[in-house]
Structure 1
Amino acid sequence: MDQNNVFVCAKWQVKEGKLEAVLQLMKEAAEKSTQEQGNLFYNLHQSQEDHNTIILYEGYTDAHAVETHRNSEHFKNIVVEQVVPLLENREVILMNRLF
């Protein structure tokens, strides 16, 4: 992996009763995101302790690719407009690999 790569770790707390809706929407978001030119991977994980806690782990070639992703129509339409209202809490951390 390149030192310019940017990794995103997002922790979402899904509202009670909204998990299935979020997972359905995220199937489409993940499919479209992995097709982006600067995307390295786009993985969703679920907490073993709290099924309403979803962790996204994404990799991008550089900061420009992250910006392109965040400005994409599918990100705006699916994640921002449809998924975010179904969340109790959303934390996003941008990271660079140290070694």
Structure 2
Amino acid sequence: MATSPVYVFARWKVKEGKMQELLQLLTSLRMQTQAEEGNLFYTVCQDNSDANTLLLSEGYTSATAQQAHVSSDRYKKLAAGGIIPLLNEREVFLTTPIIK
């Protein structure tokens, strides 16, 4: 049975005045995530019409790799403990690519 990759898409609304603090944490999280076994990509974009909205896309070789990421100590410290409190809104979608 083949393992399907998992792509994560997220929309974050950053609290006013917190973008620089968030970007410092996010830069560290992104670099460490890219070094994880099973990470395919990690991209961060800023909405052109709202500077406080970030769009993230991440790819993992499998659901197991994605779960290992969110279970890691670095994720718990940087994302759950540092980044998420700086957000007004957070929407996350776990997806499986069907057309490549």
Same fold (TM over 0.5): yes
Question: Residue 75 of structure 1: CA displacement?
Answer: 0.6
Cα distance in 1, alignment partners of residues 3 and 16 from structure 2: 39
Cα distance in 1, alignment partners of residues 3 and 88 from structure 2: 34
Instruction: Give the alignment's TM-score, normalised by structure 1.
Output: 0.96
Name the counterpart of 1:13.
Answer: 13
Question: Residue 73 of structure 1: CA displacement?
Answer: 1.0
Q: Which digits, 9 at most, give the CA deviation of each residue in 1:36-66, with x for residues without a partner?
A: 0010001111000001001110000000001
Give the CA RMSD over aligned residues.
1.1
1:36 aligns with 2:40: no
Structure 1: stretches of 5+ with no match in the other structure: none
The aligned amino acid for 2:94 is: L
Structure 2: stretches of 5+ with no match in the other structure: none
Instruction: Give the alignment's TM-score, normalised by structure 2.
Output: 0.95
Moved segments of 4+, more than 6 Å: none
Cα distance in 2, alignment partners of residues 10 and 4 from structure 1: 19
Q: Secondary structure at the match of 1:59?
A: strand
Instruction: Answer whether contact 1:9 1:93 (CA < 8 A) is retained.
Output: yes
Question: Residue 3 of structure 1: CA displacement?
Answer: 6.5
Q: Secondary structure at the match of 1:37?
A: coil
Kindly tell me the number of residue pairs found equivalent between the two proteins.
Answer: 98
